[in-house]
A and B are shown apart, each in its own frame.
Chain A
């Protein structure tokens, strides 16, 4: 078997292991589904009167259509943090020692983790869109709209997964990785993920306007609300890919450094 084929097989095996361990632990997947969905429901019920009635909020079919993409991104963030924390716990329990002693390809450690994150991100995006659809939301972009939303969610999941791996190796403590979550939550809230940028004012608007998460969510939202173009889609994909490139590079470097120390 060629080296590339072997790495692919090991990546798949490690990704599968990550997915299985996530699914078997309710505390690993429950928060990533529960919190975004509950918040989406509460926001929809609270801000249902906003579209078309306040300055800066265009008239749209319903607030749920507006809220679903923010929920997907929030879910991906929570899942990524949990996965990062799980990886850190692995490290705490001597994961590296076992790995160094095995002939596993070093690349597949990282790609395995990322593969699992991407797979879970795709499932989350499809699940959230379906639930929103049940309650009356509609993806104006149709089939291709869904595809774009899922692709952006998947790449963003890889970015968050890479960040999780990076933090896990750097801190080596599951608790420390979990402790970073409020920071991610802040990043999400200080963006237009939950409410339109045009309704914000002052410094908050300034922060949200330079927050890449704003444009990531907005490009997904364009697919749901309508008015998406190839350019809006590419903006979202580009931002997600840029974030992923940064975090995966950083995690690859720390991983290599860590493995050199370990061996």
Chain B
């Protein structure tokens, strides 16, 4: 209970910082928008392939842009933590009796909160482009997958921050999230993939997350056979990356 209260306090601070530091705020807002508009605009024509079964390419791109936005929200938490570690603010947290788990739960919850914001932005942009929300249940499913992805990527970024203890590790945090999304079914359905990416995407958990939230977006209903692989992939990512973030927490005062 106390861990929760402290996590909330730290998450609140994290969100406050995002609002007050424009160099953090603007990219986290603009990036998912740019990905949505640039992808849907530049590759609009690809939607005519038979694998898309007549779906609008903008609607097809919305879940990917929302997922990328959630990934950015996660990375942001790691970057704030890295800055705290470098600048010494983390010492303050560490010398307080705050439960250790709260030190990573705070940034993680902030990332999830931000992902709600970025997902909403993407939905709004989609509506401006003429793609209406897919219905309440499906919309919630997409929000849910974005929340889970934000949690997973923030675990990844937090783990990097706790090990590297410097903001210079930010490119590593970003690169891995970027590649994990793009080396999946970011642009086309899995059947349309050619060569190496077909194999990589099959083993990439993000493929299943995108497929699940895309199915919700495009069909407007929740098709269980498309959804459960996404849930399993999210749970697996959270488990592995959660361990990755928690491990250094036990050795905080070793150096």
Contact = CB atoms under 8 A, between A and B. Distances in A.
Q: Do chains A and B touch in the complex (CB under 8 A)?
A: yes
Interface of A: 38-39, 41-50, 53-57, 179, 182, 185-186, 189-190, 194-196, 198-201, 204, 208
Contacts of A48: 192-195
Interface in B31-63: 34, 37-38, 41-46, 48-49, 51
Contacts of A56: 45
Interface of B: 23, 27, 30, 34, 37-38, 41-46, 48-49, 51, 179, 182-183, 186-188, 192-198
Contacts of A199: 43-46
Nearest to A47: B46
B44 A49 contact: no
A220 to B, nearest CB: 17
B194 A204 contact: no
Contact of B45 (A38, A41, A45, A200): A200
A42 B45 contact: no
A185 B183 CA distance: 20
Nearest to B182: A42
Contact of A55 (B38, B45, B188): B45
Contact of B193 (A46, A194, A196, A208): A46
The 7 closest A-B pairs by CB, nearest first: A199-B45, A45-B197, A48-B194, A204-B41, A189-B38, A46-B187, A54-B48
A44 B30 CA distance: 26
A50 B42 contact: no
A181 to B, nearest CB: 11
Contacts of A45: 193-198
A47 B48 contact: no
Contacts of A55: 45, 48
Classify the secondary structure of B's interface with A: helix
B104 to A, nearest CB: 28
Given A54-B49, A189-B38, A46 B44 contact: no
B194 A44 contact: yes
Contact of A201 (B44, B179, B197): B44
A195 B47 CA distance: 13
A49 B192 contact: yes
A179 B198 CA distance: 34
A260 B198 CA distance: 59
A189 B194 contact: no
A46 B44 CA distance: 13
A185 B27 CA distance: 13
A46 B45 contact: no
Contact of B44 (A39, A43, A204): A204
A189 B42 contact: yes
A57 B49 CA distance: 11
11 contacts: A46-B188, A46-B192, A46-B197, A50-B45, A50-B49, A195-B43, A195-B45, A196-B45, A199-B44, A199-B45, A199-B46
Contacts of B183: 42
Contacts of B196: 41, 45
Q: Which one of B23, B38, B42, B186 has the highest number of Cβ atoms from chain A below 10 Å of its Cβ?
A: B42
A54 B30 contact: no
Contacts of B51: 49
Nearest to B23: A179
Contacts of A189: 34, 38, 41-42
A49 B49 contact: yes
Contact of B41 (A44, A185, A196, A200): A200
A186 B38 contact: yes
A26 to B, nearest CB: 11
A135 to B, nearest CB: 9
A55 B49 CA distance: 9
Given A199-B45, A200-B44, 19 more contacts: A38-B182, A39-B182, A42-B182, A42-B186, A42-B187, A46-B186, A48-B193, A49-B51, A49-B194, A50-B46, A54-B46, A56-B45, A189-B38, A190-B42, A194-B42, A196-B45, A198-B45, A199-B43, A204-B42
